[in-house]
């Protein structure tokens, strides 16, 4: 799978976390990969699982960073799609040295265009630009 496809799978699993208790994460992860077995190899699945767990472990710090720059838009008020995309991008910007900031922002904007509302891409871009 390409990095973009892997990133999209990370987004999809992270999005599920918004609707379920963290204790249910493993069950949600299992359900997700039951539908993706043909698409993803073992290495890809391991990569996605590790990245999702790392993001979940850093959500408090990520949300604090976002809340500092998103004036009038605390994470508690953000749409779940936009918030999930922002969290993924912030994680990549702060914790993954092999992902350039510009790439993380661009990929987040593309996810926002695909999964968000008409204004999601500009909102996501604006918040991430302030963090860059």
In this structure, what CATH number is given to the domain that contains residue 38?
A: 1.10.940.10
Evaluate if residue 22 carries a pLDDT over 90: no
pLDDT of residue 13: 87
pLDDT of residue 69: 93
Position with higher pLDDT, 40 vs 92: 92
**Number of other residues whose CB lies within 10 A of the CB of residue 18:** 11
User: 29: domain range?
Assistant: 3-131
Mean pLDDT for 110-126 is 96
- How many distinct structural domains can be found in the chain? 1
Mean pLDDT for 114-131 is 96
Confidence class for position 57, pLDDT limits 50, 70, 90: very high
Position with higher pLDDT, 108 vs 40: 108
HSE, CB side, 13 Å, CA atoms: give it for residue 132.
Answer: 16
- Measured between alpha carbons, how far is 71 from 69 in angstroms, rounded to an integer? 6
The two tokens of residue 28 are: 């949600």
Longest pairwise C-alpha distance within the chain: 43
CB 63 within 8 A of CB 88: no
User: Percentage of the chain surpassing pLDDT 70?
Assistant: 93
Looking at every residue in the chain, the average pLDDT score rounds to: 89
pLDDT of residue 34: 73
Q: What is the pTM of this model?
A: 0.89
CB 6 within 8 A of CB 48: yes
- Measured between alpha carbons, how far is 96 from 106 in angstroms, rounded to an integer? 15
CA dihedral 9, 14, 18, 23 (to 10 degrees): 120
Mean pLDDT for 121-132 is 95
């Amino acid at each position: 799978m390409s990095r973009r496809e892997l990133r999209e799978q990370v987004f999809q699993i992270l999005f599920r976390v918004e609707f379920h208790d963290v204790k249910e994460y493993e069950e949600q992860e299992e359900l997700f990969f039951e539908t993706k077995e043909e698409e993803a190899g073992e290495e890809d699945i391991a990569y996605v699982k590790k990245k999702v767990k790392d993001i979940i472990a850093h959500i408090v710090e990520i949300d604090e960073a976002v809340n500092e720059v998103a004036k009038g838009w605390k994470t508690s008020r953000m749409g779940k799609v936009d918030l999930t995309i922002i969290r993924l991008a912030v994680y990549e910007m702060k914790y993954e040295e092999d992902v350039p900031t510009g790439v993380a922002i661009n990929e987040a904007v593309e996810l926002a265009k695909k999964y968000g509302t008409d204004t999601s891409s500009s909102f996501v871009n604006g918040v991430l630009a302030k963090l860059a």
